[in-house]
Structure 1
Amino acid sequence: MYLIVTPFVIGDVDTIKNNTIDDRKGWLTDSFTLRSILTKFGYQPNNIEDGACFYGYYKHFCDNQFYINIEFSGSYVPEKNIPVVLYHVSFRQKQDWHYHTIELSKVPCVLLAEGYADYMAVAKACSGFDPE
Protein backbone atom coordinates (compact mmCIF):
# COMPACT_ATOMS: atom_id res chain seq x y z
CA MET A 1 0.00 0.00 0.00
CA TYR A 2 1.26 3.45 -0.92
CA LEU A 3 0.42 6.78 0.63
CA ILE A 4 0.49 9.72 -1.75
CA VAL A 5 1.06 13.07 -0.08
CA THR A 6 0.39 16.22 -2.06
CA PRO A 7 2.95 18.90 -1.13
CA PHE A 8 0.76 21.77 -2.34
CA VAL A 9 -2.80 22.63 -3.24
CA ILE A 10 -3.52 24.17 -6.62
CA GLY A 11 -7.22 24.55 -6.04
CA ASP A 12 -10.06 24.09 -8.49
CA VAL A 13 -8.43 24.54 -11.90
CA ASP A 14 -11.83 25.29 -13.44
CA THR A 15 -12.01 28.57 -11.49
CA ILE A 16 -8.61 29.86 -12.66
CA LYS A 17 -8.85 32.60 -15.28
CA ASN A 18 -6.89 32.83 -18.53
CA ASN A 19 -5.58 29.27 -18.04
CA THR A 20 -2.62 30.53 -16.04
CA ILE A 21 -1.70 30.02 -12.41
CA ASP A 22 -0.62 33.34 -10.94
CA ASP A 23 -1.01 32.99 -7.18
CA ARG A 24 2.59 34.24 -6.72
CA LYS A 25 2.33 37.09 -9.22
CA GLY A 26 4.28 40.10 -7.99
CA TRP A 27 6.86 38.20 -5.96
CA LEU A 28 10.32 39.73 -6.28
CA THR A 29 13.68 38.06 -6.93
CA ASP A 30 16.67 38.69 -9.21
CA SER A 31 17.33 37.43 -12.71
CA PHE A 32 20.29 35.22 -11.76
CA THR A 33 18.37 33.43 -9.00
CA LEU A 34 15.42 32.85 -11.34
CA ARG A 35 17.71 31.56 -14.10
CA SER A 36 19.65 29.32 -11.71
CA ILE A 37 16.54 27.60 -10.34
CA LEU A 38 14.80 27.12 -13.68
CA THR A 39 17.85 25.92 -15.63
CA LYS A 40 18.48 23.31 -12.90
CA PHE A 41 14.96 22.04 -13.62
CA GLY A 42 15.67 21.87 -17.37
CA TYR A 43 14.10 25.14 -18.52
CA GLN A 44 15.44 27.30 -21.35
CA PRO A 45 14.91 31.01 -21.98
CA ASN A 46 12.02 31.92 -24.27
CA ASN A 47 12.79 33.43 -27.66
CA ILE A 48 14.77 36.66 -27.60
CA GLU A 49 12.55 39.55 -28.69
CA ASP A 50 13.28 43.00 -30.09
CA GLY A 51 15.56 44.90 -27.76
CA ALA A 52 17.41 41.69 -26.83
CA CYS A 53 14.98 40.77 -24.05
CA PHE A 54 12.96 37.71 -23.06
CA TYR A 55 10.09 37.24 -20.62
CA GLY A 56 9.97 33.59 -19.66
CA TYR A 57 11.47 30.15 -19.44
CA TYR A 58 10.01 26.97 -20.94
CA LYS A 59 10.44 23.21 -20.67
CA HIS A 60 9.23 20.64 -23.24
CA PHE A 61 7.57 17.30 -22.43
CA CYS A 62 6.20 14.28 -24.30
CA ASP A 63 8.23 14.55 -27.49
CA ASN A 64 7.64 18.31 -27.60
CA GLN A 65 3.84 17.98 -27.59
CA PHE A 66 3.50 19.97 -24.34
CA TYR A 67 5.52 22.63 -22.63
CA ILE A 68 5.45 24.54 -19.39
CA ASN A 69 6.06 28.28 -19.56
CA ILE A 70 6.98 30.36 -16.50
CA GLU A 71 6.79 34.10 -17.19
CA PHE A 72 8.34 37.03 -15.36
CA SER A 73 8.99 40.75 -15.90
CA GLY A 74 11.92 40.07 -18.23
CA SER A 75 15.67 40.10 -18.63
CA TYR A 76 18.13 41.18 -21.29
CA VAL A 77 20.83 39.44 -23.30
CA PRO A 78 23.59 39.47 -22.28
CA GLU A 79 22.10 38.99 -18.83
CA LYS A 80 22.87 41.22 -15.90
CA ASN A 81 21.65 40.56 -12.40
CA ILE A 82 18.58 42.79 -12.20
CA PRO A 83 15.43 42.70 -10.04
CA VAL A 84 12.62 40.71 -11.67
CA VAL A 85 9.01 40.00 -10.77
CA LEU A 86 7.44 36.56 -11.06
CA TYR A 87 4.20 36.48 -13.09
CA HIS A 88 2.61 33.12 -13.86
CA VAL A 89 2.88 29.56 -15.13
CA SER A 90 0.96 28.32 -18.17
CA PHE A 91 0.84 25.15 -20.22
CA ARG A 92 0.86 24.85 -24.00
CA GLN A 93 0.25 22.06 -26.45
CA LYS A 94 1.40 21.65 -30.02
CA GLN A 95 -1.39 21.94 -32.57
CA ASP A 96 -0.31 21.81 -36.19
CA TRP A 97 2.81 24.00 -36.35
CA HIS A 98 2.02 26.21 -33.35
CA TYR A 99 1.70 25.93 -29.59
CA HIS A 100 -1.52 27.07 -27.93
CA THR A 101 -2.32 27.64 -24.28
CA ILE A 102 -4.51 24.80 -23.05
CA GLU A 103 -7.18 24.75 -20.38
CA LEU A 104 -5.74 23.73 -17.04
CA SER A 105 -8.42 21.07 -16.66
CA LYS A 106 -6.98 19.38 -19.79
CA VAL A 107 -3.35 19.44 -18.66
CA PRO A 108 -2.11 15.98 -17.63
CA CYS A 109 -2.04 15.87 -13.81
CA VAL A 110 1.66 15.02 -13.60
CA LEU A 111 2.55 17.93 -15.90
CA LEU A 112 0.34 20.32 -13.92
CA ALA A 113 1.94 19.22 -10.65
CA GLU A 114 5.47 19.55 -12.00
CA GLY A 115 4.86 22.98 -13.50
CA TYR A 116 3.27 24.27 -10.32
CA ALA A 117 6.07 22.81 -8.18
CA ASP A 118 8.68 24.56 -10.36
CA TYR A 119 6.74 27.84 -10.13
CA MET A 120 6.57 27.48 -6.34
CA ALA A 121 10.32 26.71 -6.16
CA VAL A 122 10.99 30.08 -7.77
CA ALA A 123 8.49 31.77 -5.44
CA LYS A 124 10.20 30.19 -2.44
CA ALA A 125 13.48 31.85 -3.48
CA CYS A 126 11.77 35.24 -3.81
CA SER A 127 12.06 37.91 -1.15
CA GLY A 128 8.28 38.25 -1.01
CA PHE A 129 5.44 40.15 -2.62
CA ASP A 130 6.10 43.62 -4.05
CA PRO A 131 2.85 45.58 -4.49
CA GLU A 132 4.44 47.83 -7.12
Structure 2
Amino acid sequence: MTLGRVRQSLDRLGHGAQVDGARRLLIPGERATLWFTLSGGGPLDREPAMLSAHVVAHSHVPMSWEARALTAANEWNNTRRLLRCFVGAPSADLALPLTADMYVPLGPGVHDALLDELMESVAVSAQAWVDWLHDDAMLI
Protein backbone atom coordinates (compact mmCIF):
# COMPACT_ATOMS: atom_id res chain seq x y z
CA MET A 1 0.00 0.00 0.00
CA THR A 2 1.43 3.37 -0.99
CA LEU A 3 0.27 6.97 -0.96
CA GLY A 4 0.76 6.87 -4.73
CA ARG A 5 -2.01 4.25 -5.00
CA VAL A 6 -4.27 6.42 -2.87
CA ARG A 7 -3.59 9.35 -5.20
CA GLN A 8 -4.32 7.21 -8.28
CA SER A 9 -7.61 6.17 -6.71
CA LEU A 10 -8.56 9.79 -5.97
CA ASP A 11 -7.61 10.73 -9.55
CA ARG A 12 -9.79 7.92 -10.95
CA LEU A 13 -12.67 9.29 -8.89
CA GLY A 14 -12.13 12.88 -10.06
CA HIS A 15 -10.94 14.21 -6.69
CA GLY A 16 -7.86 16.21 -7.65
CA ALA A 17 -5.47 15.55 -4.78
CA GLN A 18 -2.32 17.60 -4.26
CA VAL A 19 0.81 16.54 -2.39
CA ASP A 20 1.99 18.97 0.28
CA GLY A 21 5.39 19.32 1.93
CA ALA A 22 4.44 16.93 4.75
CA ARG A 23 3.81 14.09 2.26
CA ARG A 24 0.06 14.29 2.65
CA LEU A 25 -2.52 14.19 -0.10
CA LEU A 26 -4.74 17.26 0.13
CA ILE A 27 -8.15 17.86 -1.37
CA PRO A 28 -8.87 21.53 -0.73
CA GLY A 29 -12.48 22.60 -0.49
CA GLU A 30 -14.42 25.80 -0.05
CA ARG A 31 -15.29 25.17 3.61
CA ALA A 32 -12.82 22.43 4.62
CA THR A 33 -9.71 20.55 3.56
CA LEU A 34 -9.51 16.77 3.42
CA TRP A 35 -6.10 15.15 3.66
CA PHE A 36 -4.80 11.60 3.61
CA THR A 37 -1.65 10.11 5.11
CA LEU A 38 -0.30 6.59 5.15
CA SER A 39 1.92 5.29 7.91
CA GLY A 40 3.65 1.98 8.42
CA GLY A 41 3.57 -0.81 5.93
CA GLY A 42 7.16 -0.53 4.76
CA PRO A 43 9.47 -3.56 4.62
CA LEU A 44 11.11 -2.66 7.96
CA ASP A 45 7.96 -1.38 9.70
CA ARG A 46 6.51 -3.60 12.38
CA GLU A 47 3.12 -1.88 12.12
CA PRO A 48 0.71 -2.58 9.27
CA ALA A 49 -0.11 0.17 6.81
CA MET A 50 -2.63 2.61 8.31
CA LEU A 51 -4.55 5.00 6.09
CA SER A 52 -5.59 8.19 7.89
CA ALA A 53 -8.13 10.68 6.61
CA HIS A 54 -8.54 14.06 8.31
CA VAL A 55 -11.00 16.84 7.56
CA VAL A 56 -10.41 20.32 8.95
CA ALA A 57 -13.16 22.92 8.74
CA HIS A 58 -11.85 26.31 7.63
CA SER A 59 -14.10 28.15 10.08
CA HIS A 60 -13.63 27.94 13.82
CA VAL A 61 -16.26 28.15 16.55
CA PRO A 62 -16.12 30.97 19.13
CA MET A 63 -15.39 29.88 22.70
CA SER A 64 -18.85 31.07 23.71
CA TRP A 65 -20.24 28.22 21.55
CA GLU A 66 -18.11 25.52 23.15
CA ALA A 67 -21.04 23.65 24.78
CA ARG A 68 -23.01 23.85 21.55
CA ALA A 69 -20.04 22.54 19.54
CA LEU A 70 -19.44 19.64 21.94
CA THR A 71 -23.12 18.70 21.85
CA ALA A 72 -23.07 18.79 18.05
CA ALA A 73 -19.88 16.66 17.90
CA ASN A 74 -21.46 14.09 20.23
CA GLU A 75 -24.58 14.02 18.07
CA TRP A 76 -22.51 13.40 14.92
CA ASN A 77 -20.46 10.68 16.59
CA ASN A 78 -23.53 8.92 17.98
CA THR A 79 -25.37 8.86 14.65
CA ARG A 80 -22.59 8.30 12.08
CA ARG A 81 -19.97 5.63 11.62
CA LEU A 82 -17.16 6.53 9.25
CA LEU A 83 -15.76 9.90 10.32
CA ARG A 84 -15.41 10.85 13.99
CA CYS A 85 -15.93 14.54 14.85
CA PHE A 86 -13.79 16.49 17.32
CA VAL A 87 -13.73 19.96 18.84
CA GLY A 88 -10.12 21.00 19.26
CA ALA A 89 -8.33 23.09 21.86
CA PRO A 90 -8.73 26.86 21.59
CA SER A 91 -6.42 28.66 19.18
CA ALA A 92 -4.54 31.86 19.99
CA ASP A 93 -7.63 33.90 19.08
CA LEU A 94 -9.76 31.74 21.43
CA ALA A 95 -11.64 29.96 18.67
CA LEU A 96 -12.26 26.21 18.58
CA PRO A 97 -11.24 24.20 15.51
CA LEU A 98 -13.56 21.50 14.18
CA THR A 99 -12.04 18.34 12.75
CA ALA A 100 -13.09 14.84 11.76
CA ASP A 101 -10.95 11.80 11.08
CA MET A 102 -10.90 8.11 10.40
CA TYR A 103 -8.27 5.37 10.33
CA VAL A 104 -8.29 2.19 8.26
CA PRO A 105 -5.67 -0.58 8.61
CA LEU A 106 -4.62 -1.70 5.14
CA GLY A 107 -1.72 -3.97 6.05
CA PRO A 108 -3.16 -7.05 4.34
CA GLY A 109 -3.55 -5.00 1.15
CA VAL A 110 -6.51 -3.80 -0.85
CA HIS A 111 -7.45 -4.14 -4.51
CA ASP A 112 -8.15 -1.05 -6.62
CA ALA A 113 -11.95 -1.39 -6.71
CA LEU A 114 -12.16 -1.58 -2.93
CA LEU A 115 -9.69 1.28 -2.51
CA ASP A 116 -11.80 3.39 -4.90
CA GLU A 117 -14.93 2.61 -2.91
CA LEU A 118 -13.19 3.50 0.35
CA MET A 119 -11.84 6.79 -1.03
CA GLU A 120 -15.25 7.76 -2.41
CA SER A 121 -16.89 6.91 0.92
CA VAL A 122 -14.42 9.11 2.77
CA ALA A 123 -14.86 12.01 0.32
CA VAL A 124 -18.66 11.77 0.48
CA SER A 125 -18.61 11.50 4.28
CA ALA A 126 -16.27 14.48 4.58
CA GLN A 127 -18.59 16.58 2.43
CA ALA A 128 -21.62 15.39 4.42
CA TRP A 129 -19.84 16.38 7.67
CA VAL A 130 -19.04 19.87 6.39
CA ASP A 131 -22.59 20.31 5.08
CA TRP A 132 -23.95 19.10 8.42
CA LEU A 133 -21.77 21.56 10.35
CA HIS A 134 -23.11 24.35 8.17
CA ASP A 135 -26.78 23.37 7.86
CA ASP A 136 -28.01 21.13 10.69
CA ALA A 137 -25.51 21.90 13.45
CA MET A 138 -25.33 25.58 12.44
CA LEU A 139 -21.75 25.85 13.70
CA ILE A 140 -20.02 27.30 10.63
Q: TM-score, normalised by structure 2?
A: 0.38
- Highest relative contact order (Cα 8 Å, sep 6+), 1 or 2? 1
- Which structure shows the higher helix fraction? 2
- Which structure shows the higher strand fraction? 1
Q: TM-score, normalised by structure 1?
A: 0.40
Structure whose CA Rg is larger = 2
